[in-house]
Structure 1
Amino acid sequence: MKKINLRELYRDVYTTDFFVDVTEEVMETIRAAERAEAAYERKMYRYKAQYSLDCENGIENAVLLKPQTPEIVLEEKQFQEQVYAAVMRLPEKQAKRIYETRFLAVGKTDISPPISESI
């Protein structure tokens, strides 16, 4: 049995030294993971493989756009139906104004009537 310090492995969790006895198999697994991580960092440094999300090759889409599950699609559809029903309950002029400002983006920055300049 080997003793390892969990503070060295989990710096954010353990603030003080905490020693644990582990088997040789666990110790070898930890060492293999450390070697693999060190090799990965060397490879990134050697080949200058720091990627930016602005590089336009699809990396940002893989990170930002998650595939939609059927539950999410159903929730979005129900939400759109609720919004549509709420807008249809409004008076015609108010519904038209909301439709123009929110859905068509007409006058989105300024929805108030213009101030007359005759002052």
Structure 2
Amino acid sequence: MKKINLRELYPDVYTTDFFVNVTEEVLDVIQTAQWLEAAYERRMYRHKAHYSLDCGNGIEKAAVFRTATPEDIFEEKQFQEQVYATVMKLPEKQAKRIYARYYLGMTVNEIAEVEGVDPSRVRDSIRRGLKQLVKYF
């Protein structure tokens, strides 16, 4: 068993010395992590890299984008239901077109082809419907 000072590892948390006994394996892991971090810093300095050197493995995405909590999921679901209900308050044609465009993922040309109308009419109808939706929110 080796003694380590947690103040050296976590200076923001421990303002005074706090010694803990750890096994050799834990000490090896801590030292390896410190060496890898120092090597990473040296590579960044040597290559004048102000960007991540480990792009592609998802570390940045995991750090930037947090996972959704059950509360977030519930709020998103409520919001989607509210938007859907508001869309259904629009005139039938506009509601169908907005539903097809944003919920079903159809393009304006596809909607126009299904309805047998000019794409500019569908585009204008969707634009007017979205303006009306803004009034509700």
Q: TM-score range by the shorter chain?
A: 0.5 to 0.7
Q: TM-score, normalised by structure 2?
A: 0.46
Alignment partner for residue 131 of structure 2, among 82, 99, 102? Answer: 99
Counterparts of residues 25-104 of structure 1 (less than 5 Å): 25-51=25-51, 77-85=80-88, 99=131, 102=134
- Give, in angstroms, the shift of residue 77 of structure 1: 3.4
Q: Supply the distance in 2 between the matched residues of 1:24 and 1:8 (Cα, whole angstroms).
A: 18
**TM-score, normalising length: structure 1:** 0.52
- After superposition, residues 12-23 of structure 1 pair within 5 angstroms as 12-23=12-23
Residues 1:73 and 1:48: Cα distance change in structure 2 (over 3 Å): same
Secondary structure (helix, strand or coil) at the match of 2:131 reads: helix
Give, as a single letter, the amino acid of the residue that structure 2 aligns with 1:28. Answer: D
Q: How far off its partner does 1:28 sit?
A: 0.8
TM-fit CA distance, 1:11: 1.2
Where does residue 2 of structure 1 map in the other structure?
Answer: 2
Q: Distance in 1 between matches of 2:21 and 2:65?
A: 43
Letter paired with 1:48 = K
Higher RCO, Cα 8 Å, sep 6+: 2
Deviating above 4 A after TM superposition, structure 1's stretches of 4 or more consecutive aligned residues are 62-66, 71-76, 85-88
Q: Gaps (5+ residues) in structure 1?
A: 53-61, 89-95, 104-119
The structure with more helix, counted as a fraction of residues: 2
- The number of aligned residues is 85
SS at match of 1:3: strand
Q: Which runs of 5+ in 2 are unaligned?
A: 53-60, 92-127
Structure 2 equivalent of residue 59 of structure 1: none
- Relative distance call for 1:101 and 1:79 in structure 2 (3 A) is closer
